[in-house]
Structure 1
Amino acid sequence: MNKKFKARKSPLLLLAAGCLVLSGCANEISSSSQSDNSYKNEVKAYAVFVPKRQDDFAWENDKVAFRVYGPAAPIKGHSSGVDAWLKKVDYSIIDKWYEETFNKTGSYHTDTGEGYDPYHVGISRGVGGSAIWVDGKDYAAHNYKSYKIITNGPDKVVFTLEYEFKTPLGLVNESKTISLPLGSNLYQVNSKFKLDGKPASLPIAIGITTHDGKAKVSYNKETGRISAWETFDSMALGTGVVIASSKVTDIKHIAKEAKDESHIWLYTNSDKNGSIKYYAGFAWEAAGEITTQTQWHNYLDNFKK
């Protein structure tokens, strides 16, 4: 399904109109009439577009969950960085957490046993968001313009997000195809970049937010890895990016006073066809599988690239 977006006056009108226009809408968008009892504890890879929450797009598997902000998100305070939803159950939680928040019976910012979202993204790159790097500055899209779900579980989810943004080099388009199979803590990115409508080799920076310096950062150029380690409510979270080591041009930790602008950056280039491939994701101590920084580094450094 490929959905184009325009400015809207009412999220409720959009939801109603979308369900009239889009076939299979009920399968992709959590229904406001769905009760908590109707959710099955189903283990699956899954993605969903959520117009009721400012066009969020979220995806998950049995290990991790993520979301990005959509076209309806305000310009101020939002960008195309990737949010992490921390889960400690293997079954699907996205629809349930959104529905509890919509109905005010709970909130995905509160952990009631399944996990929660304490991770702030704002205008940062979050967990592995990309940008164009020009003269020491990152240029990134505000939010995705459209989406297309290619495969929606149960063993793997694949979808494409389309971005367009201005840079000092010209108008950049990024077609970002993301895939996440069961069993992986990292989602895979296959992006194709165009500059002024033509495929181009561009200077790319892939970032992990350090949450204004609160996270401890590290890297390994030989394995093509950058990573961060921080604590939320006494439980540790490791985030990371890995790419083929031959693709790394540089790695830098840049701290800034401005909120959300401190990152560890991995620098690379798209090839002559505009293509780039990398992996990004996280591991949460409360999930009980990867509980130390050393274990997280080993997972990333030995991840099949």
Structure 2
Amino acid sequence: MKRLILITLLATISLATAGAVEPKTFCRFVPERSDDFAWENDKIAFRAYGPALSASAENSGIDCWLKRVDCPIINKWYKENAEGKSYHKDHGEGYDPYKVGASRGCGGVALWLDGKMVISNVFREWKVVKSSKEESVFVLTYYWKHDGDSYKEDKKISIKLGDRLFKTESTFWKNDNIAIGLPIAVGVLRHKKSNKLSKNLDKGWVSVWEKLDGSELGTGVLMDPSRIEKHELYVTGKKLEDHTLLITKTDKNGQVQFYAGYGWKKAGEINTAAEWEVYLNGFRHQTDSN
């Protein structure tokens, strides 16, 4: 009898282990959901909007998918959403309550011309460079026109296991030439005036801390402090248009580099605005090494 119980117990453990999904990074194009491009690690998940939404309100903003499990959820959530189990509701792993619209969301960029953001539409091209357990890398390409000039952005995004921020390295062209010294705004959306805004320009970051569906969320962007021209609180009074921004310029290679991400209280690791600010203050800069 004891032998039978032991065999049953070992078999149960073996099945549980076989069914476990280990933490990893992941990214992919999602044609079945209006051409999204989604990426994640064991802490955070995001998506950008693609060609099928070119006529919608969404454009080049970045959407947060709030996850509270360390296993991959992108494929699972898209599949379940198509079957009627909405990822806009938390079924135990997290959900997507973050409203982006035409905003920059969490870490979107814009041209900064005459004191205003000039934004691109959805990405038109994509390419996966790498997708492994430890790191995923991909490129999204955006095209747009303004005042008779043509612009292009190659947005190279990388996400590493264990980080709460993903890295963006964007290269800009103007009229088919590398755009050197082009003013760029990078930031995060402030959903309500009551949201707590914080910044530490010596450390290179701005953040928003907000209440969300009975929990709380911190979002932020971070860059090399020496590349910051100024901080801008961009307020229009219209829905989904207020942002806290870092204004920078492209370097000699037409590039800007920065990090963006979030900490969600319900995930159990970042519980207060102060803890989120400590995380941003301590995050390692990799702009010179990658």
Letter in 2 for 1:55: D
- Is 1:45 the counterpart of 2:25? The answer is yes
Letter in 2 for 1:174: E
**Could you tell me how far 1:213 is from its partner in structure 2?**
2.8
Match of 1:109? 88
Aligned residue among 221, 242, 247 for 1:267 = 247
CA distance in structure 2 between the aligned counterparts of 1:194 and 1:50, rounded to whole angstroms: 27
- Is 1:303 the counterpart of 2:283? The answer is yes
After superposition, where does 1:145-156 map in structure 2 within 5 Å? 145-156=124-135
Aligned residue among 122, 134, 141 for 1:143 = 122
Match of 2:166? 187
CA distance in structure 1 between the aligned counterparts of 2:20 and 2:47, rounded to whole angstroms: 21
Aligned residue among 170, 174, 196 for 2:149 = 170
Q: TM-score, normalised by structure 2?
A: 0.89
**Could you tell me how far 1:236 is from its partner in structure 2?**
0.8
**Could you tell me how far 1:139 is from its partner in structure 2?**
0.9
Please tell me whether the aligned partners of residues 132 and 167 of structure 1 are also in contact (alpha carbons under 8 angstroms): no
CA distance in structure 2 between the aligned counterparts of 1:213 and 1:170, rounded to whole angstroms: 35
Identical amino acids, percent of aligned pairs: 44
Q: Residues 184-234 of structure 1, C-alpha deviation per residue, up to 9 Å, x if partnerless? A: 000001111111111112000002100143522111111110000001111
- Is 1:58 the counterpart of 2:58? The answer is no
Match of 1:72? 52
Larger C-alpha radius of gyration, 1 or 2?
Answer: 2
Q: Residues 152-200 of structure 1, C-alpha deviation per residue, up to 9 Å, x if partnerless? A: 1211100001111112372111111000010000000111111111111
**Could you tell me how far 1:40 is from its partner in structure 2?**
6.0
Gaps in structure 1 of 5+ consecutive residues: 1-38
CA distance in structure 2 between the aligned counterparts of 1:66 and 1:268, rounded to whole angstroms: 24
Match of 1:20? none
SS in 1 for 2:280: helix
SS in 1 for 2:65: strand
Q: TM-score, normalised by structure 1?
A: 0.85
SS in 2 for 1:295: helix
**Could you tell me how far 1:119 is from its partner in structure 2?**
0.1
Runs of 4+ in 1 over 3 A off after TM superposition: none
- Is 1:92 the counterpart of 2:72? The answer is yes
Please tell me whether the aligned partners of residues 212 and 255 of structure 1 are also in contact (alpha carbons under 8 angstroms): no
Letter in 2 for 1:142: N
Aligned residue among 196, 213, 217 for 1:233 = 213
CA distance in structure 2 between the aligned counterparts of 1:293 and 1:231, rounded to whole angstroms: 11
CA distance in structure 2 between the aligned counterparts of 1:169 and 1:89, rounded to whole angstroms: 47
Please tell me whether the aligned partners of residues 139 and 155 of structure 2 are also in contact (alpha carbons under 8 angstroms): yes
Gaps in structure 2 of 5+ consecutive residues: 1-18, 286-290
Match of 2:235? 255
SS in 1 for 2:57: coil
SS in 1 for 2:263: strand
CA distance in structure 2 between the aligned counterparts of 1:273 and 1:169, rounded to whole angstroms: 23
**Could you tell me how far 1:41 is from its partner in structure 2?**
2.7
CA distance in structure 2 between the aligned counterparts of 1:215 and 1:167, rounded to whole angstroms: 32
SS in 2 for 1:72: helix
Letter in 2 for 1:177: K
CA distance in structure 1 between the aligned counterparts of 2:202 and 2:174, rounded to whole angstroms: 30
